[in-house]
Amino acid sequence: MKSVILAAGMSTRMSPLNLEIHKALLPIKGEPIIEKMIKYLHSHNVVDITIVVGYMADSFQYLKEKYNVELRLSDKYKTHNNYTSIQLVLDKLNDCLILEADLYIIDDFIPRIDKSKSQYFSQEITYGLEWELVLDDNDKIVGIKSDRTSGWGLIGISYWKGDMAEALEQELTKCSPNQYWDDAVWNLLGKYDVYANKCQNQIVQELDKIEDIVHYNLMSHDEIMALCLKSDQFKKIDDDTYILGDKKLIFRDDKIIIE
């Protein structure tokens, strides 16, 4: 089995931390998220790993020597959505595990992969707004709903094989600049079967924004403050209010408010 990690995006929802560090390299419990992910893959003998980079691409170069991964550079990350990242790895799609780079892995899931079918891993939505998978009685995906607060949600992990992988290669060539790569999958529903691999326990925590880091208790205020202090744009206004870039950060009690 091969693996592709998608790490090209600008992480705009992680603003203003994304001014200083790519969110895939955030040091959670002393280790960059993406290194924890690579080590997890290695623990299951997944060593053919390709990382698609774009924003802050130079920051990922050290991974090539440290973990013998391949980097592929997207030059469209500023103007196109993430379907262009998948277009760079079409040769990898068959028997391939695709992961978003902002996932903090908290439980073992690779043994759950059913290699007889293409599938999205899913866990119940308990926090924030997510994409919900619409399923039939056999857990085959028949549709998708956006901005949902409950149901079986997308979590940024999928496995592809066989005819569906080949069809996906062709469909991705039809995407427009504002589309996600998953839109190519939705276009193929009904023609090809894609299933939900439903995980009753939480296997990952997705870190889209600073509030997510605080919600999951993955970094303390002091650790987040230390990252902010690395920027010459970080300025103190009063005891709990700071400016970084065009954002105001308010550190209050156990919350971080961003305005």
**196 and 128 fall within a common domain:** yes
Residue 254: inside a domain:
yes
Residue 131: inside a domain:
yes
Q: What is the pLDDT of residues 193-223, one digit of tens each?
A: 999 999 999 999 999 888 888 889 898 877 8
pLDDT at residue 107 in the model: 97
Residue 14 has pLDDT above 70, yes or no: yes
Q: Which residues contact 4 (CB under 8 A, 6 or more apart)?
A: 49, 50, 51, 52, 86, 89, 92, 96, 97, 98, 99
Residue 142: inside a domain:
yes
Q: Give 255 or 67, the one with higher predicted confidence.
A: 67
**69 and 169 fall within a common domain:** yes
Residue 212: inside a domain:
no
**63 and 171 fall within a common domain:** yes
Domain that holds residue 181: 2-206
pLDDT at residue 254 in the model: 65
- Mean pLDDT computed over 51-66: 96
Average pLDDT across the chain, whole number? 90
Q: What is the pLDDT of residues 77-131, one digit of tens each?
A: 777 778 788 889 999 999 999 999 999 999 999 999 999 999 999 999 999 889 9
- CA angle centred on 47, ends 46 and 52, rounded to 5°: 100
pTM equals 0.91
- Mean pLDDT computed over 155-184: 90
162, 183, 206: which is the final residue of a domain? 206
Residue 77: inside a domain:
yes
How many CB atoms lie under 10 A from the CB of residue 66?
A: 10
CATH of the domain at 6: 3.90.550.10
Residue 214: inside a domain:
no
- Is there a contact between 153 and 131 (Cβ–Cβ < 8 Å)? yes
d(CA 244, CA 68): 35
**147 and 177 fall within a common domain:** yes
Cα atoms found within 13 Å of the Cα of residue 122, Cβ hemisphere only: 24
Helices marked H in 44-180 — which ranges? 62-67, 83-87, 162-172
Q: Which residues contact 178 (CB under 8 A, 6 or more apart)?
A: 80, 81
**132 and 244 fall within a common domain:** no
Count structural domains, the chain: 2
